[in-house]
Structure 1
């Protein structure tokens, strides 16, 4: 199988489509480009009414949300550490990252960063209204074969240290 050529969309849950639409269109500048509304879930056959919305980024890929009738929990309620699951979105320059940082602060959104990750990425972190942790990141340099080799070594070591005989 060939590797996928890119991201079409990633989907999250919302309990407030109005707040989600405002955040992604007015604050992050994305465009609402599509929706699906149905009384059953095509991929499972479950009888559940939902609205599925799609917000487009500059490269054509989307962040999507399901508002599911009767669903009262969102990503605020996850048992996972709040910092772990997140979506990193690219910006084209440090100027763009700094401008986004100021814009978010101006909207009253709590922002962490700018964080320097290994001299490769510079990032800011914040939450959307649904509790989805977002990262805006500027990639300072391209990853190369040395990075891939170091990652392969680190992953192999991690697996050897963290895998039990029953795994």
Structure 2
């Protein structure tokens, strides 16, 4: 049996599609204070070989991880038309304190952005939720305590129970 792979070191980037790179840049740099740190621009998708012109931009957070966007030439429809609930797919970013979370909440409201929260999750995370100009759901969260083995044990039990109640055929 092949041993499991080494656990990833951390997040490099998560990528989404944008229909407006300019508005995306403004939002991530001016509203959220992130840095535009890199890009790739090609006529062919390296991972598939498809002929498709795109611009791939990277916005860096304090820890060096990024949220990235593809603007794809000729794509002009909303890519969020899926059967998934809009709340399910989201990108969560950490903040250092409740004060920082509350300041971000105010900043977003001042920008005219609709914000949901502050929501207390399990007494561990306090979060706010909002959408970027591309319809990507974002979360800013303050984690008030480190997760420990008791949390992991509880998570394993919850997963086991869920799987038992919601059996699926393995694909």
- Scaled by the length of structure 2, the TM-score of the pair is 0.94
Structure 1 unmatched ranges of 5 or more: none
CA distance, structure 1, for counterparts of residue 82 and residue 105 of structure 2: 26
- 3-state SS, counterpart of residue 3 of structure 1: coil
Alignment counterpart, residue 55 of structure 2, candidates 46, 51, 58: 51
Alignment counterpart, residue 85 of structure 2, candidates 81, 84, 108: 81
Residues 85-140 of structure 1, C-alpha deviations (whole Å, 9 max, x = no match) = 10110000000000000000000000000000000000000000000000000001
CA contact (8 A) 1:91 1:136 kept: yes
Q: Aligned Cα RMSD in Å?
A: 1.0
Once structures 1 and 2 are overlaid, which stretch shifts more, 143-152 or 71-80? Answer: 71-80
1:16 and 2:31 aligned: no
Deviation at 1:72, TM superposition (A): 1.5
Aligned match of 1:38: 42
1:157 and 2:161 aligned: yes
1:7 and 2:11 aligned: yes
Deviation at 1:75, TM superposition (A): 4.5
Aligned match of 1:93: 97
Residues 60-87 of structure 1, C-alpha deviations (whole Å, 9 max, x = no match) = 0100000000111344433311111101
Extract structure 1 runs of 4+ deviating beyond 6 A: none
Alignment counterpart, residue 121 of structure 1, candidates 116, 121, 125: 125
Aligned match of 2:116: 112
CA distance, structure 1, for counterparts of residue 131 and residue 80 of structure 2: 10
Structure 2 unmatched ranges of 5 or more: none
- 3-state SS, counterpart of residue 155 of structure 2: helix
CA contact (8 A) 1:75 1:130 kept: no
CA distance, structure 1, for counterparts of residue 78 and residue 7 of structure 2: 31
CA distance, structure 1, for counterparts of residue 108 and residue 79 of structure 2: 20
- 3-state SS, counterpart of residue 48 of structure 1: strand
